Amino acid sequence: MNDDDFEQLIASLGEVLACTDNSQSLGGGLRLPSATDVAAIRKKTGLSQADFARRTSVPVATIRNWEQGRRLPQGPARVLLALLDRNPRIVEDTLSR
């Protein structure tokens, strides 16, 4: 291992440690919380599980699994849920005609 390899290894370890602070970096200073309370977010929207599933194009069984802790939202679903947590009407505001 040469000095450049060692420096790259140290830099990589720093990036890993930066992502272990209960949030995930999305780049550009954006951070995504690691914990997502799907039931609380859904309740902010005032929608039933079935209506929430329809509005977000996510199967209702997936919503149930997230709310009951059997599964965790991943990838784009986590971003959508973070947006809904901040603005429960974002889907309607964005997709309405």
Distance of CA 33 to the CA centre of its chain: 7
The domain locations on the chain are 21-95
Which of 63-67, 77-81, 87-91 tops mean pLDDT?
63-67
Per-residue confidence (pLDDT) for residue 30, from 0 to 100: 75
Measured over the CA atoms of residue 75, residue 28, residue 92 and residue 82, the dihedral's sign is positive
The encoded tokens of residue 1 equal: 């291992």
| Confidence bin at 10 (pLDDT 50/70/90) | low
pLDDT tens per residue, range 82-91: 999 999 999 9
CATH superfamily ID and name for 21-95: lambda repressor-like DNA-binding domains (1.10.260.40)
The residues near 46 (Cβ < 8 Å, ≥ 6 apart) are 88
Q: Whole-prediction pTM value?
A: 0.71
Q: How far apart are CA 73 and CA 38, in angstroms?
A: 9
Q: How far apart are CA 42 and CA 68, in angstroms?
A: 13
